[in-house]
Amino acid sequence: MRYALAAIATIGLVASTLLGSAPAAQAATARLDGDDRFETSVLASQRLPDTDTVFLASGTAFPDALAAAPVAAAEDAHLLLVRPEGIPQIVQDELRRLAPSEVVLIGSEASLSPEVAAQAAATGARTITRIGGADRVATSMLLLDRMRDEGAAVTDIWVASGYSFPDALAAGAVAAREGHALVLTLGADAGFRQQITARIGGVQRFHIPGSTGSVSTDVQSMLAGTGRAVDRFPGADRYETAVQINQAFTRTGSGGQLVLTSGADFPDGLVGAVYAGIRGEALYLTDPSCATSGSVAAEQRRIASTGTTVLGGVNTVSPVAAELVPCAALNASASDLLDRINAARAAAGRAPLALDGCLSRMAGGWASAMAAGNLTGSAHNPSLTAEARACSLRGWGENVGRTMGSSPDAARIMSAWMASPAHKLNIERASFTHIGIGIDRGSNGSWYYVLDFGTR
């Protein structure tokens, strides 16, 4: 027989009983979170000094904007993202606000249509320049030419994969800050060899972001064959590659904001490379949900950053990720909470609960929803019954709550639940056999906890 415990088991703690002391003072976190990638690029532009030159690049593909970042920064120019078929109204408005004398379109007409050029001209720019080659590699080489034509003495060139973006995002920011160039490669073919060889005058060193899976050993050998020094930053993943690059080029104690962007998508990071480069700041990558390790937090301490600027909204970089909370810490807190729950059940003579995948998705989803909405600690999942039935449960219940602090506090929330008869009843209910645990953080500083119980 199926039964639901929603009326009895689904009881939330009163928020006031769960709020602890405020977290200790820490570096401030700010967000540039437009409604989309185009508005985020505008928000970044508005945080930079006004400029007489604006670069426009596609917001739907990474290669052109990636190679353009150091060139734009060398000219103190802004980078705005547009659609291939036209300029969003909010970007047109920003062009009118800046009133640049030159707008530079990055990419061929296949990347940015003639309509983009026409709309840019209509905003009042006197000069519309297009830099676009036959492919992404050729475009990156033409951007290097532009950099030199504008007076930059390029001694270092980053050679990044033209197939994927993650390893090159942090490299683009460092290149933008240090006056380096960045070109793309699709392999050590004759075309790339000819184009790079024709442009190595004055170059002292090549830098390769990423492992040999990103840029091959053939390319590295070809670059070494030019007689220039070559170094590689082969992090274990995209996040560690960004850390390695910054450890080599961002001075200890340099201060400033730590710029944080998602390593799972490219648009905000493309804008971030120019933004961080012009401001002299360091850009790091994060998993959208949490920090994959403590490396970026360690970097925050090493460079003595004054705070964090997050590029993108909470769906791009969650509040947990923005605070550099390691995924392992969340997992450890959930594990600690499960141990405490099963210890309480053992003391009451009950069998332990087993983690359940479907219940875990339910609990995690509602914890994230509570965090996204900065809800009270007593807000229950309105879809609990429907989701429980979809999980084929014979019975179900839910505990929710929240605490304040710099990290999750399993002991505190468990103590609050055990002091509440209704919550304690859920934890000790003999009929429950499985559990899902969700933990997430809201932008208000609250940690949200969800326990979804089930009977199978």
pLDDT at 429: 95
Please give the model's pTM, rounded to 2 decimal places.
0.80
Question: Considering 277, 300, 323, which residue would you say is the last residue of a domain?
Answer: 323
Inside any domain, residue 9: no
CA 360-365-367 angle, 5° bins: 95
| Residue 348 located in a structural domain | yes
Sequence-distant (6+) residues with CB within 8 A of 310 are: 29, 30, 31, 32, 33, 260, 261, 317, 322
Residue that finishes a domain, picked among 304, 323, 342? 323
Q: Are residues 343 and 300 in the same domain?
A: no
Query: On the CB side of 281, how many CA atoms lie within 13 Å of its CA?
Result: 22
Strand partners, 129: 104
pLDDT digits 0-9 by tens, 339-389: 999 999 999 999 999 998 889 889 988 998 898 888 988 899 999 999 999
Distance between CA atoms of residues 116 and 326, nearest Å: 42
Structural domain containing residue 44: 28-323
Q: How far apart are CA 74 and CA 319, in angstroms?
A: 33
Over the stretch 202-254, which tens digit does the pLDDT of each residue have? 999 999 999 999 999 999 999 999 999 999 999 999 999 999 999 999 999 99
- pLDDT score recorded for residue 314: 85
Asked if residue 339 and residue 226 are part of one domain, the reply reads no
Q: How many structural domains compose the chain?
A: 2
H helix runs in 179-253, sequence order: 190-197, 217-224, 238-249
Q: Is residue 439 part of a domain?
A: yes
Question: Is 352 within 8 Å of 345 (Cβ atoms)?
Answer: yes
CB hemisphere CA count around 331 (13 angstroms): 8
Residue-level pLDDT, tens digit, the chain, 456 residues: 232 222 234 333 322 223 233 333 345 789 999 999 999 999 999 999 999 999 999 999 999 999 999 999 999 999 999 999 999 999 999 999 999 999 999 999 999 999 999 999 999 999 999 999 999 999 999 999 999 999 999 999 999 999 999 989 999 999 999 999 999 999 999 999 999 999 999 999 999 999 999 999 999 999 999 999 999 999 999 999 999 999 999 999 999 999 999 999 999 999 999 999 999 999 999 999 889 888 999 999 999 999 999 999 988 998 889 988 888 888 899 999 999 999 999 999 999 999 988 898 899 889 988 988 889 888 999 999 999 999 999 999 999 999 998 889 999 999 999 999 999 999 999 999 999 999 998 888 899 999 999 999
Query: At what angle are helices 421-428 and 327-347 packed, to 10 degrees?
Result: 90
d(CA 4, CA 302): 53
6, part of any domain: no
Amino acid at 369: A
Q: For position 335, which CATH number holds? A: 3.40.33.10
Predicted pLDDT of residue 358: 87
Q: How far apart are CA 50 and CA 419, in angstroms?
A: 57
- Regarding whether 312 and 357 lie in a shared domain, the answer is no
What's the rounded Cα separation, in Å, for the pair 440 and 450?
A: 9
Shared domain for 256 and 310, answered yes or no, is yes
Within a domain: 2: no
Asked, for residue 3, whether it belongs to a domain, the answer is no
Could you tell me if 123 and 272 lie in one domain?
yes
Letter string b/e over residues 271-301, b meaning 16 or more CB atoms within 10 A of that residue's CB: bbbbbbbbbebbbbbbbbbbbbbebbbebbe
Q: Does residue 7 lie in a domain region? A: no
The rounded radius of gyration (Å) of the Cα atoms in the chain is: 26
Look at residues 323, 356, 388 and tell me which one is the last residue of a structural domain. Answer: 323
